[in-house]
Amino acid sequence: MTWQDPVMTTQTHAAAALAMVGALLASTNQANQLTVDDLSNHKPVLLDAYTKRKIRVVPLATGLVHPWNLSFLPDGAILVTERPGRLRIIRNGVLDPQPISNVPAVVARGTAGLFAAVPHPNFAQNGFVYLSYAKPGDGKSTVAITRARLDGQILTDAVEIFVADAWQGGGNHGGRMLFARDGALFLTIGDRDPRCCDGSNDNSLRMKAQDLGTHAGKTLRLKDDGTAPRDNPLASTPGAKPEIFTYGHRSGIGLAFHPETNELWQSEIGPLGGDELNILLPGRNYGWPLVSLGRNYNGTLVSDEPWFRRGMENPRIFWVPSIGPSAIAFYTGDKFPSWKGSLFVAALTSRELQRITFNEPGQAERRERLLVPLGMRIRDVRQGPDGYLYLATEVAMSGNVPDGMVLRIEPADSSTP
């Protein structure tokens, strides 16, 4: 038997393994690029799903800059916000090349800009659209809502109906909106902490999420005119903002009502890890930054009690490491029978669409990763009136590269053109 130097053999095997990994990554990256190129050229692509069937990904609109929110109008048209401050519309599956005019001025810097555009529940009668955005003022910004009427390609009769008391020079804005069955409008506000990502342990600004005298780090419940409902949980609490529904949030980005219980669920991006999915109960405290499973950006723990603190709510689901959860949607349609009742989570950091099923045999919930080969940051997920899923995606996190898309997810055997 020929003697072999174990060090040289190990190095040779390691080099071979690295070469194989490099080839695999190069092949994967090339395949991903071909897939994205197809979508950019308005060609559908087929991808595998773990439910033993393929899905078709159909591009409806390309060349967008950070599309943030999708909303369906009664006639099937889709409103699409672009973070730099443009409101677009897709009619009959075609993106109108001209943005809708008279959108309010926004701060378009970092993750700030135009957030959501949602129609009033009685849009067919009143034509009202609600816009949430980063409002500028004295070198700072906050979250505001403007209500306007959509008249073709123009917003008219615009009125700024709400301005959050959350002025700051940076930090998370939030900005997601959702109408409830009773006509109340929910709005998320981030903790507005600009020191979150600079390696600092300073939590003085993020502690505003625990301060009931400010809107920072809260989820709000408003009337459709922007005022606070009298039955809000803290409306009669001295010193508290009457619009507050829940508090102790870092960066609430997704909102959805459970189709059976009508509970309000919210996704929340943590720092390094500690992303959360919470079920919002009126007047409750969700802990940030006193309770968090995440770490500061210098690696230290956010909280010395990361699991539990008396009087504060625990998340229904958490993610460590972070997936960067954005929008969420419960699926209730009939185009994907095996997906009925699933919760879909749009993920920014892990660049995937995550499907969560509950009450699985032998498991509280099961998580399925979808669309991973696309390598896209998924900002919004919606169930359309046709029962298909619709996504707003981007590739780059920042800048103004027009790599954003609106995609429709169909079963591969669907006859939809």
What residues does 80 pair with on adjacent strands? Answer: 70, 88
What does the CA dihedral 322, 327, 333, 336 come to, rounded to 10 degrees? -30
Q: Give the CA distances from residue 316 to residues 115, 168, 291, 339, 340, in Å, rounded to whole numbers and listed in that order.
A: 26, 30, 14, 20, 20
Structure tokens at 178: 């959702």
A 10 A CB-CB count for 240 gives 18
Alpha carbon of 56 to those of 161, 164, 328: distances in Å? Answer: 41, 41, 20
CA nearest to 353, candidates 338, 369, 365:
369
3-state helix, strand, coil in the chain (%, to 5): 10, 40, 45
Are the beta carbons of 136 and 106 closer than 8 angstroms? Answer: yes
Best CA proximity match to 110, nearest among 70, 144, 141, 146: 141
Q: How far is CA 157 from each of CA 99, 105, 161, 214, 409, rounded to the nearest angstrom?
A: 18, 15, 12, 29, 36
B/e letters for 73-97, b = 16+ CB within 10 Å, e = fewer, are beeebbbbbbbebbbbbbeeeebee
Contact 128, 140 (CB under 8 A): no
Q: Catalytic residue positions?
A: 173
Going by C-alpha positions, the residue among 35, 41, 111 that lies closest to residue 399 is 111
Peptide bond preceding 97: is omega within 30 degrees of 0, i.e. cis?
A: no
Distance CA 384, CA 405 (A): 16
Q: How far apart are CA 379 and CA 166, in angstroms?
A: 23
By three-state DSSP, how is residue 10 classified?
helix
Tell the burial category of 24 from Cβ atoms under 10 Å away from its Cβ (0-12, 13-18, 19+): exposed
